[in-house]
Chain A
Amino acid sequence: MRNLFPPEDLARDDRFVRVPAEARIEDPRSNGASNPRSARLKPSQRGGPDGARSMMHGIFVGEIQALEGAGRTCWDFEAGSDEYQVPFELKLDMARQCWDESRHVEISIKLSEHMGTEIGEFGESAFLYRAACNPDPILRLTGVNRALEGLAIDVFNSMREFGKIAGDPVLTFCEDWMLADEVTHVKMGSDWLRKITANDPERRTRALEFQRVVDKLFSFNGLRGDDEDSPVRLARRFRELAGFDDEEIDAIAADALEAKNETASVESVGASA
């Protein structure tokens, strides 16, 4: 088996359909904004429950890709101390993450049944796994465990709130448990970034830059934000638990706001066309 398994080859059964990134970009209805949702998801909205179903399916396929990404990190890098090797203990952490993500896939399937969603009901994009393909292990870890798993903290927290408001005990219970695991994964990323780059500030800078690029890509055109009405709200408290400092969280909030403003300006141009 080769190293660095490409996103195009991720194996799926016939229920899943991959939506190429170009299809979203070239959709003339979107004006470049891939998701038209612009307010916090609430059960009381007309499309609230269906929006939650769609988001839950996105989480489900995201968990599959997170599982695949952690698994590939176990395989792609040998244990050792060279630049393209990783400490033995880091590999153990990735194996542990594999188990966690497997459980998350299981939880997501049970939750989808509860919400009336079929496996593969919505299209899948391989955005998330793409970040897990970086050939530099520390950049990969930073992009996945700090940017994407950080996003997962925000998403799970938002979905948990949705469940609480709806009085849905199943959704609230599941999101609460998955949220706990995500905090652990982000903390893994924070701890390894600090350890491995302790004597290599240049590499740390590159890793943090990559994290920022991934963070920006996943700001969903402003879907994530720091204000109360954001569809996916930055979960500051949980991010702190996971090793983010205030300055880092503020930077993510600022990038998200910038993405939101850019989207608003694109939409307004589109509306006047």
Chain B
Amino acid sequence: MADPKKPRAAFAPWDRRQLPGSFDVEESARRVGNYKWIEMRLFEVLGGWVATVPELDVKMRLGSHCYHHAWHAELWHKRLPELREMNPERLTEPPNDEMVAFVDAMTEPEAAEQTIEKLVGVYRVLIPHKIAAYTYHRNNTSEITDAPTIRSIDFILQDEYADWRDGEMMLQSIITTPEEVDRAAARQAELEKLMVKAGGITGPGTIGDPYDIPEQ
């Protein structure tokens, strides 16, 4: 065994985490508040929809997914005070009015015949955007100073990927005619336009700007 008193590198050769990050505490907290807000809207509507969908397997799946997003909201609720926001409700808000319009439109369907519209809104529009927002945050925040956020995002992304796959499988099994393909596509386009107006889950800049090329 090596001499335990012999000095070692504080960051082992395999630990390549970097200190710099794109977000300061305030920006991280703002984004986390947006995350909590959208996770709440999502678990609420999934719970509400359970009674409105006749497909038994979809009904049960929405019930399970409802809890996943509630748990995400809880993680962000607990993270906010750690980011110097002692009143988590203050930052639990949408990034802009356009995001409110998106959520209003997404949660509008109620009729038993609208399972396609309900599922498309969540699994083909919202969740892909959430995955994008979380991935951007995870890859741009400081791996050292914001490690607790990264840890939560890693857990959350596991759920998001699994739920996305579940939702897509349900949709593919329900969409069986050309007319239903059109319905799903129209619904996706309608909501995607609203999401583009909102600029993403945390507003403009949610996933950065690839056209913003640094000068050489």
Contacts of A71 in B (CB 8 A): 46-51, 62-63, 66
Residue of B50, B59, B70 with most partner-chain A CB within 10 A: B50
Contacts of A171 in B (CB 8 A): none
Q: Is the CB–CB distance between A74 and B43 below 8 Å?
A: yes
Shortest Cβ gap from A94 to chain B (Å): 7
Q: Does B109 contact A (CB under 8 A)?
A: yes
Residues 35-86 (chain A) with a chain B CB within 8 angstroms:
64, 67-68, 70-76, 79
Shortest Cβ gap from A224 to chain B (Å): 27
Contacts of B51 in A (CB 8 A): 5, 9-11, 68, 71-72, 129
Contacts of B144 in A (CB 8 A): none
Residues 9-63 (chain B) with a chain A CB within 8 angstroms:
40, 43-56, 59-63
Q: Which residue of A lies closest to B113 (CB)?
A: A11
Shortest Cβ gap from A158 to chain B (Å): 25
Q: Is the CB–CB distance between A75 and B67 below 8 Å?
A: no
What separation, in Å, do the CA atoms of A59 and B1 have in the docked complex? 62
Q: Is the CB–CB distance between B47 and A1 below 8 Å?
A: no
Q: Is the CB–CB distance between B48 and A75 below 8 Å?
A: yes
Contact of A11 among B46, B53, B63 (CB under 8 A): B53
Shortest Cβ gap from B22 to chain A (Å): 29
Contacts of B43 in A (CB 8 A): 74, 91, 95
Q: Is the CB–CB distance between A98 and B55 below 8 Å?
A: no
Shortest Cβ gap from A134 to chain B (Å): 15
Q: Does B191 contact A (CB under 8 A)?
A: no
Q: Does B64 contact A (CB under 8 A)?
A: yes
Q: Does A102 contact B (CB under 8 A)?
A: yes
Q: Does B108 contact A (CB under 8 A)?
A: yes
What separation, in Å, do the CA atoms of A13 and B54 have in the docked complex? 5
What separation, in Å, do the CA atoms of A9 and B73 have in the docked complex? 30
A102-B63 contact given A1-B52, A11-B112, CB 8 Å threshold: yes
Contacts of B62 in A (CB 8 A): 71
A64-B74 contact given A74-B43, A94-B47, A99-B67, CB 8 Å threshold: no
Q: Is the CB–CB distance between A72 and B60 below 8 Å?
A: no
Residues 146-170 (chain B) with a chain A CB within 8 angstroms:
none
Contacts of A11 in B (CB 8 A): 51-54, 59, 112
Q: Is the CB–CB distance between B52 and A5 below 8 Å?
A: yes
Contacts of A91 in B (CB 8 A): 40, 43-44, 70
Q: Is the CB–CB distance between A92 and B108 below 8 Å?
A: no
Q: Is the CB–CB distance between B73 and A92 below 8 Å?
A: yes
Q: Does A154 contact B (CB under 8 A)?
A: no
What separation, in Å, do the CA atoms of A26 and B204 have in the docked complex? 62
Contact of B64 among A1, A70, A92, A99 (CB under 8 A): A99
What separation, in Å, do the CA atoms of A1 and B109 have in the docked complex? 6
Contacts of B63 in A (CB 8 A): 67, 70-71, 98-99, 101-102, 105
Residue of A74, A96, A129 with most partner-chain B CB within 10 A: A74
Apart from A1-B52, A71-B63, what 15 extra A-B contacts exist at CB < 8 Å? A5-B48, A11-B112, A13-B55, A13-B56, A67-B50, A70-B47, A74-B48, A75-B44, A91-B40, A91-B44, A95-B67, A95-B71, A98-B46, A98-B47, A102-B60
Residues of B within 8 A of A (CB): 40, 43-56, 59-64, 66-71, 73-74, 77, 107-110, 112
The contact sample of 10 A-B pairs, CB cut-off 8 A, is A1-B109, A9-B112, A64-B56, A72-B47, A74-B44, A88-B40, A98-B46, A98-B67, A99-B68, A105-B59
Residues of A within 8 A of B (CB): 1-2, 5, 9-13, 64, 67-68, 70-76, 79, 88, 91-92, 94-96, 98-99, 101-103, 105-106, 119, 129
